[in-house]
Structure 1
């Protein structure tokens, strides 16, 4: 997915949360801030359940941005079992919101 307003500078888009998957950007930012406060040289961010890879790509874009901003190394790792979600058991699994990938 492309960024929402590509005409704005990255710094402004990140400040306003106008990026793809802003919750991922927030997590990366907080991890980088904590690593800097603890005087670490870098941080690793992880996505579990990569699925089709869209989230991992967004996480990588955010990592590149915050790596350039902070000067710290930001490594990205993703894990997936490739088996998909287990079948729903009851309504609490929200079966109408998740599709089975074939």
Structure 2
């Protein structure tokens, strides 16, 4: 399995989505517009703690959109999953 497929298969939690939106200063509507996932779906998924329970296409769209905006997902490493905003690349 290549790195992209492996990354897309990793879990995504509602806490990570909310934290990523906060780092990007996006509201739910902007995430919906950028990801192609409906606002109703985002509103349904975010309040439920733990891994997002949605189809793989929805999870992949959310994750890909946030990564393209500069979010890095941090896997469980003893301290819990998380997100961080990637440093801008220097020209």
Same fold (TM over 0.5): no
Larger Rg: 1
Normalization by structure 2: what TM-score? Answer: 0.27
More helix per residue: 1 or 2?
2
Whose strand proportion is higher, 1 or 2?
A: 1
| Greater RCO structure (CA 8 Å; 6+ sep) | 2
